[in-house]
Structure 1
Amino acid sequence: MPTVAPLDIDGHVLAVEFLRDTPFFVSAAGAVHRLEGGEKVSEAGQGLLTVIRDPYSDSLVAGGEDGKVQRISASGEVTELAHAPRKWITQLAAGPQEAIAYAYGKSTFVRLADGTTKEFTEERTVEGIAFAPKGLRVAVARYNGVSLHWVGMTAQPTILEWKGAHTGVVFSPDGQFVVTTMQENALHGWKMDVKSGAEARHMRMTGYPAKVKSLSWSAKGKWLASSGAPAAIVWPFQGKDGPMGKAPLELGTRANIMATCVRFHPLEDILAIGFIDGMILAVRISDNKEALLRRPGKGAITSMSWSKSGKLMAFASEAGDCGVVDISA
């Protein structure tokens, strides 16, 4: 049976991520708690709105109500990367070559390693941003679709159109697909192998009873897990056409209790599913075998993260009841 080491933090916890083998818990109030030979706390300003892990370095990037974009290192040190006074920073992405993207209003800004910044403007408000896995290219989600910008070029962006409000965006690990979350209870996807002048092929992923707030790709990119239902909805991407014409898996089904967070294991096709009542299940894709990682708690699971080895899984909740699960026990 997995063992759980609990950690109580005051208020809403936005994110938990492992840096090296240390779990970092970041609260909306700006406190950064790291479990490194005991609990250590540093401050990242007041009123954080979003926190992401930089996949290219051992650091986190945070944005807040004070208009600051900050990097949090593995030692807990906080460094300011950008500042947009009187703006709320709600969208962040981290890319190759130390590039960081942030957005407010109708503009996306890409800050390069040398400190220079490039601005890309849209006709509508930016709702989500993501870097492509190869090349310095950024996807911007907005009303009626996605714009794809090459950071180092002045060329016109590639436009992926689909009517409706797109609230977030991700690339598949191989760069072959772009998928958005939508204001309606759906995902939408495009296949990226289009020839010049041709329209990208669409994938409609619908049928959710609630909005999708959490997405996670499996280690090899064969599966895309999503929240927004009383189970994790997991779409197949192993074929060249992705989920076109295929039904998703439904893992960890629980009557009327909604899944709020999903996170794939870093090495195996095992999915951690966090629910609105604080319970966490792990489900193996190959045989649907379930393991209870945590019993229900005080609040909905807002974030989960695996250590690099996959032996530890940290979780955070909106009520601040957090912890680390040791699944090697």
Structure 2
Amino acid sequence: MADPSLEICPDFARDLYARIRDDLVAATGAEPQAVIDRLIGTWTEGHQARVLKWNQQREEEARAEAEIEQAQAERVKEERLAKEAETEKEHLDSEKKKPKMNGFNATPTVGDAIAPHPSQYAIQKLNNFEYVELWYFSPNRCKEAMKTAQSITDDTFSLAKLDDQLTIHPALAFKASRAAIPDHDLPFSIFLRAKNSFLTHTSTAKWPQAHLDALALFYWHLKNHAIQDNSELGDMVILHYASRVRLDWHDHLKRNEGFNIRIINETLMQSINEEMWNCVRSRALNPVCPGQLDPLRTTSN
């Protein structure tokens, strides 16, 4: 459709329109000039209506085109933002996978002494809040662990989950030692030193403070328990109590039935004392009877 604004009003006075004029004069009885004016007026009204409709259509088309362009621009913007977000996510994921090295304080130097460090197996147990024998934290075992860590040539590796990510470590780092012994078979002096190292490393492993406090008081109460003065087998009784109760504590924690380990069960303590004396008395009859027995799973109610 052509632009009606470009239309030119016909000259109705020309001979071309004479027949129309004559018919209108005959039909209406009007003067010829009045008929011409009427024809011009009718054409003008139609012309204005066509121009108005044309302009409305052009405006509607312009609005539709603008909406299409806006929608396209928004789609392009959304695609760009999505691509930028994906790129940022890939960057963050890549950063998470990179090994992290913490900063350091430029002022202090290394300490006058370096604390003994247990094996990676023991550290992994602590990081997983699992039971591990105190033997791994004894001075001699820590020295052996440091030597082993410096001389590992084994090319076998294992997968381990750390901070929700799978990491690869030497397989030896996650194998229990065949030489490990239960807590109740440790010499009492080694037991005391090992439990100190154990408590230090449980704190480093970020155990809950309530658990750390309970364990610290547990060992403090045992170290200072009166049974050591009242029984010739006091050290052995303490070792068995500590060994059995801590293992049982971990078992109960796994079942979400944890008890307060810091509270010493005197009934259980006396029961173990009697058990040790019975074993001593029976040695003459049964040389195989050990001084240390397998842990009993007994807890306070």
TM-score by length of 1: 0.22
Higher strand share: 1
> RCO greater where, 1 or 2, for CA within 8 Å and sep 6 or more?
1
TM-score by length of 2: 0.23
Higher helix share: 2
